[in-house]
A = this chain, B = another copy of it.
């Protein structure tokens, strides 16, 4: 009896399994908010589930600063790591791939296959480097819209994302009101605080003062790895909470290479090193600038004006221990949506894992998302 119940449960919640990234190449010129134009763009993306005939069961997932298009599943049977949001995407999961067609792209300006600073500028035959236009959150969303059209999507049942992904969600709803039915921004903000900007400033400074940065013209693999690792280590602290670090590491020490090290030290050093193997320093500069300059109230005059065109219903989820984009900043834009006469609800989850709470296994979050999508 118990065994058959377990089997049932397993068949209800499954994995997307093997997935393959694809490249969408748009040969139409793309003009950035800063006025610069590039001749065309590529977005690397993955999809999970199937688009229905009406083209209205799609969910667009927006990744955060260091995320990418690989949101769920594995790329080969030897893969030990699944996509970054595998716990929310799959058959029977909150973003249920038996019902929804889930799409995730690497953002414009990214370094995981989409057009960004390390791409070759076809006009010069060399990487763009710091000659790449200053991409904004709105540019990212406008590029993604091309992919959405290319895939034959006529309605986005929802756009979902945390942190920078949440900024993209809000911008999607503002930019394409007729396309977007639901917005689920999480752990995000309509504009960063001075403190959040300050941490990004220091990260960029660590990269740009690294002698190997060379004004952004470094060869692949020979870039400002020291600066990038330092930037990542520091930023990583802001993604966790004081409590979760106390629980995970406390003041415990370990011996490494004959010297005693705090466990939190080994952990951060590892985070820094693994980041330089998968991320590009110029992209880090560009994307953190996009984050810092995102300011809906500043751009549109007020948050209420920014949200005026929105037709989507919104569920915003914030996390009590998030001190990077704290609950207060999430509540602020939800209130503005309500003041602008939109349908918006807000949930604050008591989780002590800090900003990264949206990425961890969080059944309470999944229930909220599942119900909101079904509604």
Binding site for B on A (CB under 8 A): 191-195, 197-199, 201-202, 205-206, 209-211, 226, 229-230, 233-234, 237, 240, 242, 245-246, 248-251, 262, 264-265, 268-269, 272, 292, 295, 298, 323
Contacts and interface: CB of A to CB of B under 8 A. Distances in A.
Contacts of A198: 237, 245, 264-265, 268
A251 B201 contact: no
Given A198-B237, A298-B251, A230 B209 contact: yes
12 contacts: A194-B246, A194-B249, A194-B262, A194-B264, A198-B264, A199-B234, A201-B264, A205-B229, A205-B272, A206-B206, A211-B211, A262-B292
A32 to B, nearest CB: 16
Contacts of A264: 194, 197-198, 201
Contact of A194 (B197, B211, B245): B245
B191 A210 contact: no
A211 B193 CA distance: 33
Given A198-B245, A262-B201, A264-B198, A191 B230 contact: no
Contacts of A248: 194
A35 B195 CA distance: 42
Contacts of A206: 206, 230
A280 B191 CA distance: 37
A233 B195 contact: no
A195 B226 contact: no
A139 to B, nearest CB: 17
A15 to B, nearest CB: 34
A132 to B, nearest CB: 15
* Dominant secondary structure at the A interface: helix
Contacts of A237: 195, 198-199, 202
B233 A202 contact: yes
Contacts of A246: 193-195
A153 to B, nearest CB: 35
A191 to B, nearest CB: 7
Contacts of A323: 242, 323
A141 B197 CA distance: 38
Contacts of A262: 194, 197, 201, 292
A290 to B, nearest CB: 14
Contacts of A192: 251
Nearest to A209: B226
Q: Most chain-B Cβ atoms within 10 A of its Cβ — which of A199, A230, A295, A323?
A: A230
Contacts of A209: 226, 229-230
Given A194-B250, A195-B245, A245-B195, A268 B202 contact: yes
Contacts of A240: 195
A137 to B, nearest CB: 15
Contacts of A249: 194
A191 B240 CA distance: 20
Given A206-B230, A209-B229, A268 B201 contact: yes
Q: Most chain-B Cβ atoms within 10 A of its Cβ — which of A202, A292, A295?
A: A202
Contacts of A268: 198, 201-202, 205
A207 B323 CA distance: 27
Contacts of A193: 242, 245-246
The 5 A-B residue pairs with the shortest CB-CB distance, nearest first, are: A194-B245, A209-B226, A194-B249, A201-B265, A202-B233
A248 B298 CA distance: 18
A193 B247 CA distance: 10
A226 B262 CA distance: 24
